[in-house]
Structure 1
Amino acid sequence: GCSISQASASMLASLVEEDGGEEGLPREDATRLIEGFREALRSRGKIPLDEETYADAAALSGVSKFSARVKCAMLAWVALEDALARA
């Protein structure tokens, strides 16, 4: 679980940096990424993550088949969502 969480956080950070440019990733785009990631991980493998949108994080699609690990993969994404809500 910890390695999944760390990998997911690293992939999220890369996505935010790559897509955000100097201004940072717009809040709406970040929210869309988080919602899509959550939907895919809750789908139990029915909804794959698009590699063009999610880059390396698309590799985490397989985690959706293991409900005990979905929380691990979602941790950083939920933290970003919470930070955006508080900002």
Structure 2
Amino acid sequence: MNDLDQLYQQVILDHSRERHGSGALEAPDSTSHQVNPTCGDEVTLGVRVRDGRIEAVGWEGDGCSISQASISIMHDLVDGADLTTVARLEGDFDALMHSRGRGVDDSVLDELEDAAAFEGVSKYPNRIKCALLGWIALKDALLKAGVPLDAAKAD
């Protein structure tokens, strides 16, 4: 394992232990409960949206270190962000996860910050769902709140 892989592994372990944004969100605009039936990972995510921004995100979940770390990192990326940025980040992370280990442009990795640590996860199709679980919950919660990310991508 090279130094970068070790660093990425440590980022995932750190976020799975110290879960940013963990805890039920008080007075969410909407929530989404998602389960990965393959391995049993689950998350209930709440979101509040104000003036085209994610005002707050909170979540409760259980599962493997990949799913829990991904949700923690996603929280850091989107909490307080405008919806156009959230839509771009979601698209970038989805592209990373479906790259099958071929990677993405360095500019995308820079934009994803700690989420770039999941580049190695994309080599393992059975783990991709783990990493995407929180993003799926976020998209669903935003859709339920009447703020579909697909509309924000068009802006």
TM-score (norm 1): 0.83
Q: How many residues align?
A: 81
The answer to whether the 8 A contact 2:73-2:115 is kept is yes
**Which of 1 and 2 has greater Rg?**
2
- Greater shift in the superposed pair: 68-77 or 33-42: 33-42
Which residue number corresponds to residue 143 of structure 2? 85
| CA shift for structure 1 position 10 | 0.6
CA-based RMSD of the aligned residues comes to 1.6
Counterparts of 1:35 and 1:69, CA distance in 2: 18
| Higher helix fraction (1 or 2) | 1
Tell me, yes or no, if structure 1 residue 7 matches structure 2 residue 65: no
TM-score (norm 2): 0.48
2:119 corresponds to which of 56, 61, 76: 61
Which residue number corresponds to residue 41 of structure 1? 97
AA partner of residue 38 (structure 1): D
Unaligned runs of 5+ in 2: 1-62, 146-155
Unaligned runs of 5+ in 1: 18-23
| CA shift for structure 1 position 34 | 0.7
The higher relative CO (CA closer than 8 Å, separation ≥ 6) is in 1
